[in-house]
Structure 1
Amino acid sequence: MPRNDLTDRVTALNARYRHHSGTAVLAHALADPEAGRLALVSSFGAESVVLLHMVAVTRPETPVIFLETGMLFAETLVYQQEVAERLGLRDLRIIRPDAQDLARTDPEQTLHRRDTDACCALRKTRPLLRALQGFDGWITGRKRYQSGTRAALDFFEIEDGTGRIKVNPLAHWAREDVQTYMEENRLPRHPLVDRGYPSIGCMPCTTPVRADEDPRAGRWRDHDKTECGIHIVDGRVIPKGVSA
């Protein structure tokens, strides 16, 4: 789709749903022809169960893409299975890195020590791009409060270079909203949350976070990096420290 048409489409969607709740934004996005065919991309992380539950209630046949990088915490893998079964997700797609790509690029699984961006591209970005072929857009669980780079996040945004849109139904939610939703719906917590992990990615690149820190401070700690790169600008991995 031409850039101008895509911009108009996203602008119209943001105007149409600007004053809606996150639940309503998700429900409308899944039914609105202007949003197109959508998939939910979920890490099954600390707060993922909220959006997964919303999808299960609204349209359980929505494709759910889970990137199994090969370096996730064992707790995440167990949690993913438990949540998917409990919510009755009908189209869960577990996506793994290309085996030949892994053998060629990271045979000893040490790439994350030398180049975190290259490791994320190998294990997340490229597999996701393949998994999203045929979709008009995808749903994310990103929220403004999670980090300064997400402070201006809209419900709908453009993924430049791919012709897709991204939908962020929970963009305006506060941390308290997430906890309240989980409690009211009796949703299971990721077991690592109680051990100080408010944001959970791959095991080698995730550490616990202090109460006074940004929720994503434990991701790639001591690196000039705040995003894994699955959010794309001009068809490329976002540079360090920048969020789409």
Structure 2
Amino acid sequence: MTQAAQSPVQLSNLNLNALNKRFDKASPREILSWCVENIPTGFVQTSAFNVDDMVITDILYRDLQPNPPVPVLFLDTLHHFPESLELVSKAKAVYGLDLHTFKVPDVNSEEEFAAKYGEALWDTDVAQFHHLTKIEPLVRGLTELKAVAWITGRRRDQAVTRADMPVFEFDANGRMKVNPLASWTRKESWAYVYEHDTMYNPLHDEGYPSIGDRPLTTKVGEGEDERAGRWRGSEKTECGIHI
């Protein structure tokens, strides 16, 4: 599918209430199709390569196939599980991703990061750790990619803090944030994966329903919230990107 040769919508002039009412229960494909047709440039997927992100990538790259493809922005925090990095490499090869990786400037490994910013910064100052590894690289990445709208893999059922999340919203910098899986459940995401044989991180099969940085991610027990393994033992529910 080639992106429509039409004048892009003026995002700042959109009636978000009407748009959200229209798409509140729409399928992720319907939401992404509207975006591809109406935001032909500056539309970016941000991905941590969790299962929900892979569903979105599969819809964009296997199903919709916009031309040019939607850029995929990945944050290399230097603290990922090896399995996560292996999935990034595999997905890039299989889908032919237009992949753009952003990280902390001037450091290229976990060891270099510790030498510059201190050992186990996630324990001593987790807010600073997330600013350095996620928030600043994300803002820089969206700016360099000239993003006017960006996709997240969030769902309302992931956490109480996301229960009222709309499909479309504006971030603090005036960019549209699109949450195509907002109304889906975890079960629906996995049903999509099984139906379309979508690749996913093998750690999902080992008790990690939500996968972040290795030092800050633990397995989730039976009956726990799927994000209970993120920042375990603290009151954090978000890294700061979506606040």
Question: Is the alpha carbon distance of 1:39 and 1:188 closer, same or farther for their aligned partners in structure 2, counting shifts above 3 Å?
Answer: same
Contact in 2 for aligned 1:46/1:200 (Cα 8 Å): no
**Is 1:184 equivalent to 2:191 in the alignment?**
no
**Corresponding position of 2:162:** 150
1:95 to partner: Cα distance: 1.0
Question: Is the alpha carbon distance of 1:83 and 1:46 closer, same or farther for their aligned partners in structure 2, counting shifts above 3 Å?
Answer: same
Distance between the aligned counterparts of 1:46 and 1:208, measured in 2? Answer: 16
Distance between the aligned counterparts of 1:104 and 1:116, measured in 2? Answer: 13
Superposed CA offset, 1:196-233 (max 9, x none): 000000000000001201110000001110111112xx
- 1:48 maps to a residue whose letter is D
User: Taking structure 1 as the reference length, what is the TM-score of the superposition?
Assistant: 0.85
Contact in 2 for aligned 1:7/1:158 (Cα 8 Å): no
Map of 1:108-123 to 2, 5 A cutoff? 108-123=118-133
Q: Helix, strand or coil: the match of 1:152?
A: coil
Count of residues paired in the alignment: 225
Map of 1:79-98 to 2, 5 A cutoff? 79-89=87-97, 91-98=98-105
1:84 to partner: Cα distance: 2.0
- 1:17 maps to a residue whose letter is F
Q: Helix, strand or coil: the match of 1:66?
A: strand
**Is 1:220 equivalent to 2:231 in the alignment?**
yes
Contact in 2 for aligned 1:142/1:168 (Cα 8 Å): yes
**Corresponding position of 1:139:** 151
Superposed CA offset, 1:110-168 (max 9, x none): 211101111011000000000001211100000011111000111101102x0111000
Distance between the aligned counterparts of 1:8 and 1:189, measured in 2? Answer: 35
Distance between the aligned counterparts of 1:36 and 1:189, measured in 2? Answer: 28
**Corresponding position of 2:17:** 11
- CA-based RMSD of the aligned residues comes to 2.3
Distance between the aligned counterparts of 1:123 and 1:116, measured in 2? Answer: 10
- Structure 1: gaps of 5 or more residues: 232-237, 239-244
Distance between the aligned counterparts of 1:76 and 1:119, measured in 2? Answer: 19
Pick which of 108-117 and 22-31 moved more: 108-117
Identity score, percent: 37
- Structure 2: gaps of 5 or more residues: 1-10
1:18 to partner: Cα distance: 3.3
Distance between the aligned counterparts of 2:209 and 2:154, measured in 1? Answer: 13
1:109 to partner: Cα distance: 4.3
**Is 1:22 equivalent to 2:46 in the alignment?**
no
**Is 1:38 equivalent to 2:43 in the alignment?**
yes
